[in-house]
Structure 1
Amino acid sequence: MKQIENRADVYKLVSEFYTVIRANPVLGPIFNHHILDDQWPAHIDKLTDFWVTNLFGEICFKGNPSQAHLKVDNHLNHNMEQHHFEIWLNLWFETIDNWFDGALAQRAKDAATRMATGQYLFVLKSRQQINT
């Protein structure tokens, strides 16, 4: 096992993770609907930027994950549920544990836990605002 030390390590983590996600019977169809085959390389680069920003504090990510999650929830007829985030999080943890250890690996797990919780709550709140 090695520690996450640089952008190349983050790219490896993100690439391996989304290979697993795309093959997952629950999450794969969702992700593959929104990100076409030819779009995956750019998406992996963008998500690498996201995690480099979160792990190293190097500001390189530009995007709005909350809006992306709302778009997915709309596509799922507002049926995105906590179990979707739990599956995502468990696969993230498994991928990290397969490749990395150390302080930044733990930071990636902790950050993902906070983000998954925050994104799910954001989706729920947005639904409530639509229904009122």
Structure 2
Amino acid sequence: MQWADYKQQAKSRGALALELYVAQSTPAMAPEDVKAALPDHLAYQAQLEAQGALAFAGPMSDETGDLMQGMGLIIYRADSLDAARALAAADPMHSSGARTFTMRRWMINEGSVTISVGLSTNSVDLS
């Protein structure tokens, strides 16, 4: 089924059908090369977050859940798959060659997010 048809069907049955873009980022060079690109990568991520283009990002464990092996997941808000690819390609981690990425569309249909803001404690909890 084509993506546009699936999205229309999801909307017609009342699903959210929010389209985001998921980059799976993997190391392509030595750990020291990845580490060298980290400050610029984090600054770029902060810039995208401030612009509203970055939804979520962070490292992933291996399949056991115990080891961090360099896999990362970045979820973008963009107007198209090509626009999301451009955001990922401009990431210093990827543009330096320290990491490579694959990009996929992700349609969010169900789920929930809970946000608690403590006004007197100046605290925020996201779960």
**Greater strand content:** 2
Tell me the TM-score range normalised by the shorter chain.
Answer: 0.3 to 0.5
Higher alpha-carbon Rg: 2
Provide the TM-score with structure 2 as the length reference: 0.36
